Chains A and B, each alone.
Chain A
Amino acid sequence: MSASVLHRRFERERVLTPGPFDERRRALDAFLTAGFPTRRDEAWRYTDLKPIAEGDFDVPPREVDAAVRERVRALLADVAAADAGDAAARIVVVDGRLDEALSRLDGSAGLEIVRLAPEQTADGRRGAAPHPLALLNRAFASDGVTLRTARGADVAGPVELFLVASGEGRIAQHPRVAVELGEGSRLDVVVHCVDAGNAEGWLNVVFDVTQHEDSRLALHRLQEHGARLHHTSLLRADVGRNATFVAGYADLGARVARNDIDVRLAAPGARADVFGVFVAAPGRHVDDEVYIEHAARETASDTAFRGIADRTGRGVFRGKVLVQRDAQKVDARQKSDNLLLAEQAEIDTRPELEIYADDVKCSHGATVGEIDADQMFYLRSRGVDEQNARALLTFAFANRLLARLAPERLRERATRLVAGQLPAPPAWEDVE
């Protein structure tokens, strides 16, 4: 999308969602000074944004169409029914617009949900380098929410957030989600990125997380877009004293998926557990980039990702752990394991440590391999045929981290989707 196209889109968005626009225009101008990153930019070396940059995606309509709403309603019943009653709130964003008819925003005890006015959106943590797609999100962020927990609140049930591509038109949507956890509070957020129909377009979401002392946030996200949707996400988290941040990502769809997770452990006792699983089916591209900054002493992080690529599927994991000079007694772990199902498949993995303190415990490791021949022989010697044995071992590989997804319904859905992408899906019903 050229500068003139983006300007035209921007003017349309301005008419559709009136309000103060100066901040947003500044973000657009800042984005346009460099434009879409290319593979010459180190941070984008492994992911080509051309399909997005040249996508000529439109801004979404102002309101969710009634027919689309019914389609989304049916989809939600299918993907989230069992949990609906337990959820603390349900937020449904369709093509970038929050749909209040499908959502339940009244929240529960200790949880406040505020629909964002575009001008209110924060822009990631202080001092962080501007992320080009976050700038574009800021310019076009047509909707979003802030979730805020009260001091000491233990919110019962997860907040379910659905980011839906309706399949109507070719839309670029830029929702924003801010999460602020009060001191000593706990919150679970489930993010479900899904298509209602054969959607073609781009979803570019920004999560902005602030955690105060002793709080605990768990954010689990399942991305299951179809083959014509592009997905980019940026999550920035600022984690305070003795607070714990947990993120679990499953990327099982999209044509191009790129996720940036950027965590700052700002005060002693802060902890981050970040894990993810991706399956890059033929023709798909998934890129997970995890950056963890240990800015204070006695902070801990554990990053674990597992990737699978089949035939023309392509996967990327890059992780960086930065330990600042005064951040002594840090415990940081980083692991990336990858499985190639065919010769042409490719996964690039680069875990990195950058340490300026001297009293730290850090480890990192990466593996890229094929299915283990001894395990294959063992299964086949028990009568399991070759195709099923391969599927079972592939599944088992992913399941090591999928098993950490929560709540159970999300885990089960992710599990079924992974099994369904395998050459011979194992019948994964439980035996007990």
Chain B
Amino acid sequence: MLRIENLHVEVESKPILKGLDLEVRAGEVHAIMGPNGSGKSTLTQVLAGREDYVVTAGTALLDGRDLLAMSPEERAAAGLFLAFQYPIEIPGVNNAYLLKAAMNAQRRARGQPELDAFEFMKLIGAKLELMQMSRDFLRRSVNEGFSGGEKKRNEILQMLMLEPRLALLDETDSGLDVDALKVVANGINSLRSPERSMVLVTHYERLLELVVPDYVHVLANGRIVKSGGRELARELDERGYDWIQAEAAAS
């Protein structure tokens, strides 16, 4: 589904990703862990099409299509979704409007008929319930005045409505208490399927107890330096990252 080869990315002329390789097949959940400043967020932003991130070398393909040549909205229509680490506040645009505009824009781009208000409301009712969010929330401006937890839940709600083929979740677990983490994890798990893939970027092992990944990668200094299974996350949680960076430096 997603194939990244030798990806080099600069932000303000500073190299951040330095030859990153990653392959995610349909149905797989990958976790990317790593110390601060290793390039985790840069990876998700560049895949979603952030303009001020400059790709200097390498390729990223989504279902064989050149992801890096597409606009952000084309990537969304192709099935990519980014749950932002810091969701953006948009005063004056309410959540319902954004969701409906986003869904219908993507449906138009795919040649599908648009949803009417009735179909939309029917669809969102169940998703709100799953995310334990009240209906009033739809009338509020996007992320404005939301608590950290509400913002993260809102990202997952959007993901549930948009049903992406590939979801990138950037530190969706940070800033959540135990109960909110469970709600968010339930939301993510409800979307797992053989046709859909996910990349979870996280600092902490605790999300991975609830959303169990197929693969765990360690990103350090702009590259993936170690990959393993579920157990690698536990080891990182106990031992930190120093031993991996030492190992990588030695090799």
Contact = CB atoms under 8 A, between A and B. Distances in A.
Contacts of A373: 51-52
Given A380-B76, A381-B49, A429 B117 contact: yes
Contact of B92 (A377, A378, A397, A432): A397
A363 interface: no
Interface in B59-104: 71-73, 75-77, 81-82, 84, 87-88, 90-93, 96-98, 100-103
A431 interface: yes
A385 interface: yes
Given A382-B162, A384-B73, A431-B120, A396 B102 contact: no
Interface in A386-407: 386, 388-389, 392-393, 395-400
Interface residues of A, number: 28
- Interface-central residue, A374, A377, A386, A430, by most chain B CB under 10 Å: A377
B62 to A, nearest CB: 14
A429 B104 CA distance: 14
B116 to A, nearest CB: 10
Highest count of chain B CB atoms <10 Å: which of A382, A384, A396, A432: A382
B121 A396 contact: no
Interface residues of B, number: 38
Given A374-B88, A377-B51, A385-B73, A392 B93 contact: yes
A32 interface: no
B100 A431 contact: yes
Most chain A C-beta atoms within 10 Å of own C-beta, residue among B87, B97, B98, B138: B97
Contacts of A344: none
B121 A375 contact: no
Given A378-B84, A426-B101, A432-B117, A383 B92 contact: no
Contacts of A102: none
A379 interface: yes
Contacts of A400: 91-92
Contact of A388 (B72, B77, B101, B117): B101
B105 interface: yes
Contacts of A374: 88
Contacts of B84: 378, 381
A360 to B, nearest CB: 29
Interface of B: 48-52, 71-73, 75-77, 81-82, 84, 87-88, 90-93, 96-98, 100-103, 105-106, 109, 117, 120-121, 138-139, 141, 158, 162
Given A380-B72, A381-B84, 7 more contacts: A379-B90, A382-B102, A382-B162, A384-B98, A392-B93, A396-B91, A431-B121
